[in-house]
Structure 1
Amino acid sequence: MDENTTEEASFGKGRPVHFEIHAADPNRAVEFYTTVFGWKIEDWSDFAGMPYFGLLTGEGMGINGAIIQRMGDNPAVGGAVAGAVITMGVESYDEIAEQILAAGGTEALPKQALPGMAWQGYFHDTENNIFGIHQPDPEAK
């Protein structure tokens, strides 16, 4: 690790280091994300004083996050995005899209080519949060 890749340097530059997915039904959201993406869960509810589940998204580069109890209603499907949209890198867009739909998610925007770069699309999870999936593919057109 060089002097520019220390943990302090990452925090000081404003690099994203954590995300939270708000859910009216945190257990349902945990089931969705563990089923579709294979993320590992740690129950941090006692520490947080509310339903709060740590998400371990994988090894190597990337960030981890959490599912937290939503303080209000789920957003309406088709409404404006209320917050950041997380996009997950995947090896097979079509395979993960099938898993999303089978786990109770719905398509928000269809699969589209980012020419010469990737396939991208957006879905709603079981809590109506929008998220994306991104499959690198230099042949995408």
Structure 2
Amino acid sequence: MSRVIHFEIQAENVQRAVAFYQEVFGWQAEDWSEYAGSPYFGVTTGPEGEPGINGAIMSRPGSNPAVGGMVAGAVLTMGTADFDATAAKIEAAGGTVALPKMALPGMAWQGYFHDTENNVFGIHQPDPDAA
């Protein structure tokens, strides 16, 4: 079996996207542009040895997709212990709601947002009492 080991988030404005993900999720970023030949920031999403994957935010070869348009990449979902607090941080950092908070009955709260580059991503709060 193959496992996901890396992700890439494309952005028209790489610095703005890096700032967004640092502010909302506390990710660390390192400029790897000299290796890629274009704006490319490696991101570490959590401590080494804990479950999860790391990735990068890279220059999009064109304009950002329009809100409501087709998804131009994978939708990543990030875990959170507090859906509402994370949603508030997303909106304060310039993100917008794509699909509002919904219950996955008996499992979790899930919702989808647009980042500052109109990429769609999800947040997921485990909660066996979600209804």
Please give the range of the TM-score, normalised by the shorter of the 2 chains: over 0.9
- State the aligned residue count: 129
Where in structure 1 do 4 or more consecutive aligned residues deviate above 6 Å? none
Rounded to whole Å, the distance in 1 between the matches of 2:74 and 2:12 is 17
Post-superposition shift, 1:79? 1.0
1:38 aligns with 26
- Return the alpha-carbon distance in structure 1 between the equivalents of residues 31 and 71 of structure 2: 27
Aligned-residue Cα RMSD (Å) equals: 0.6
What's the TM-score once normalised by structure 2's chain length? 0.97
Correspondence 1:58 to 2:52: no
Q: SS of the residue aligned with 1:68?
A: strand
Q: Which residue of 2 aligns with 1:25?
A: 13
SS, match of residue 121 in structure 1 = strand
- Structure 1: how far apart are the matches of 2:65 and 2:35? 27
State, as a whole percentage, how many aligned pairs show the same letter: 67
Offset at 1:82? 2.0
Gaps in structure 2 of 5+ consecutive residues: none
For structure 1, which runs of at least 5 residues remain unmatched after alignment?
A: 1-12
Cross-structure match for 1:99: 89
CA distance in 1: counterparts of 2:106 and 2:43, whole angstroms: 32
Q: Please give the alpha-carbon distance, in whole angstroms, between the structure 1 residues aligned to 2:78 and 2:63.
A: 25
Q: 1:114 aligns with which of 80, 104, 121?
A: 104
TM-score by length of 1: 0.90
